[in-house]
Amino acid sequence: MSFSSSLLEQAVNEFSKLPGIGKKTALRLVLHLIKQPQEETQLFADTIARMRREIKFCSKCCNVSDTEICNICSNFSRKKQIICVVENIRDVIAIESTQQFNGLYHVLGGVISPLDGVGPDQLTIEPLINRLTEDEVEELIFALSPNIQGDTTLFYISKKIKDLPVKITTIARGIAFGGELEYADELTLARSLQNRQPVANYVSMK
């Protein structure tokens, strides 16, 4: 692309550093900002810069937070005895949106994946084990991605804490609501048969 303005070019370059944003999309976004009032664009830039400067990671669960301890960990109405272990911040937001979970979280920051150079030391496994011993945690719910890396991480952590009096569970795998049985992959269908549920449970959930 050939720009008549280096200010424009720099702004397009900055936008196109973002994941999934190519040069053409970046140009579209920048031209949109040019059309907006100057205060709007200033607010956009200030909000982003301030967010990056001031955002913290909760010292307990490693979730993003405005304060030293996040508002989930510091909420007294939530059950501190149940911790849901997730890969990243996005998973916390997804589970919170269901409004079905009233315990706390622990954000691992990824899953064990030797091919990507991610070992247990890069994850927040040590702080998690400290939480288990310090607080009186009764149940650890693993909500990791259903793949090799997720399973490896699950087995690694469960092995490390097998002597602690903590119940370890994982979220149910099965046929998704609205999913057609014939299109489900064999592994999901097989697991969903193995982990079949009494109909009484199913009805009581409704």
Interface ranges with its own copies (CB under 8 A): 1-8, 10-11, 14-15, 17-21, 25, 27-34, 36, 38, 41-55, 58, 63-66, 70-72, 88-90, 92-93, 96-97, 99
Q: Which is nearer to its own copies, 32 or 167 (CB)?
A: 32
Cβ neighbours for 147, distance < 8 A, ≥ 6 positions apart: none
> CB of 156: closest distance to its own copies in angstroms?
23
Nearer Cβ to its own copies (94/148): 94
**Least distance in angstroms from the C-beta of 38 to its own copies:** 6
Task: For the chain, state the CA radius of gyration.
Answer: 22
Closer to its own copies by Cβ: residue 17 or 162: 17
Sign of CA dihedral 100, 104, 110, 111: negative
Find how far residue 181's CA is from the centre of its chain.
28
> What are the backbone angles phi and psi of residue 167, rounded to the nearest 5°?
-80, 130
The residue among 55 and 187 lying less far from its own copies, judged by its C-beta, is: 55
State the angle between helix axes of 125-134 and 148-160 in degrees (0 to 180), rounded to the nearest 10.
40
The rounded distance, in Å, linking the Cα atoms of 180 and 170 is 24
User: Closer to its own copies at the Cβ: 99 or 204?
Assistant: 99
What is the nearest approach in angstroms of its own copies to the Cβ of residue 49? 4
CB of 125 to its own copies, least distance (A): 19
Contact 87, 145 (CB under 8 A): yes
Judged by beta carbon, residue 97 or residue 204, the one nearer its own copies is 97
Closest of 87, 93, 123 to residue 107, by C-alpha: 87
Residue 6 in 3-state DSSP? helix
Beta carbon of residue 160, minimum distance to its own copies (angstroms, whole number) = 26
- In terms of DSSP bridges, do strands 139-142 and 79-86 run parallel, antiparallel, or are they unpaired? parallel
